[in-house]
Amino acid sequence: MQLTLQQALDVLQQHRLKLTHQRLTLLSYLNDHRDHYLNTTQIDDYMRQRFPNMSHNTVYKNIRKLKQLGIVEERFADNHQQIKYQCDFTNPLHGHFICQNCGKVTELKTNLTELIQRDLPDYQINHQQIEIYGICPECQKKLKSANNHPSSLTN
Ligand SMILES: [Zn+2]
Ligand SMILES: [Zn+2]
């Protein structure tokens, strides 16, 4: 089930975290880019442009809090910490398909935990991150038409 912005705000409230203007701005920004991972440095820039008095430390503290509450998911790419809005709050152990052309992230609905436990029956699993890479259908179409009409590449 996709987490809506309102549900994320409810989670904050349940944990008695004040809904500050800064937190709302951060959540809206993540919500607007919900199917892409964003570098935390990019988020830090965005926040500090809007709130010049906000310290890096406060931005990263807020990001950590959102991660603890399960509102965002984290990954590391080329040593960069990246986060995205949680796609499935009820199943935080889902996997992702990531398009290598546009970066769009698609949630895998299959219950991967069950499948993995079948292979590792006696193991305790603490963390899992499953990422499948390829080209999404929209990009396949775009790339195909670009190949047929090379001039349309520079639009
Ligand atoms: Zn996800
Ligand atoms: Zn794509």
CA of 101 to the centre of ligand 2 (A): 5
Position 152 pLDDT exceeds 60: no
State in Å: Cα 107 to ligand 1 middle.
5
Domain boundaries, position 117: 96-153
Interior angle at CA 72, CA 125 and CA 18, nearest 5: 125
What distance in angstroms lies between residue 56's CA and the mean position of ligand 2's atoms? 32
Residue 132 lies in a domain: yes
pLDDT digits (tens, 9 = 90+) for 76-104: 998 999 999 999 888 877 899 999 999 99
Read off the pLDDT of residues 35-81 as tens digits, 9 standing for 90 and up.
999 999 999 999 999 999 999 999 999 999 999 999 999 999 989 99
> Which 8-state DSSP code applies to residue 106?
E
- Domain-embedded: residue 49: yes
Q: Is the pLDDT of residue 14 over 80?
A: yes
CATH (domain of 126): 3.30.1490.190
Distance from the CA of 93 to the center of ligand 1, in angstroms?
A: 8
> Do 108 and 79 sit in the same domain of this protein?
no
Q: Percent of the chain beyond pLDDT 90?
A: 70
81 and 101 belong to one structural domain: no
CA distance 68 to 14: 13
Pick the ligand that lies closest to the CA of residue 134: 2
Answer yes or no: is 30 within a domain: yes
CATH assignment of the domain containing 62: 1.10.10.10
Q: How far is the CA of 56 from the centre of ligand 1 (A)?
A: 25
> Running DSSP on this structure, what letter comes out for residue 88?
-
**Best CA proximity match to 31, nearest among 57, 8, 65, 55:** 8
Per-chain residues with Cβ under 5 A from ion ligand 2? 99, 101-102, 104, 136, 139
Which ligand minimizes its atom distance to the CA of 35? Answer: 1
Let me know if residue 14 belongs to a domain: yes
Q: Decide which of 33, 52, 85 is a domain's last residue.
A: 85
Question: Which amino acid is it at 18?
Answer: K
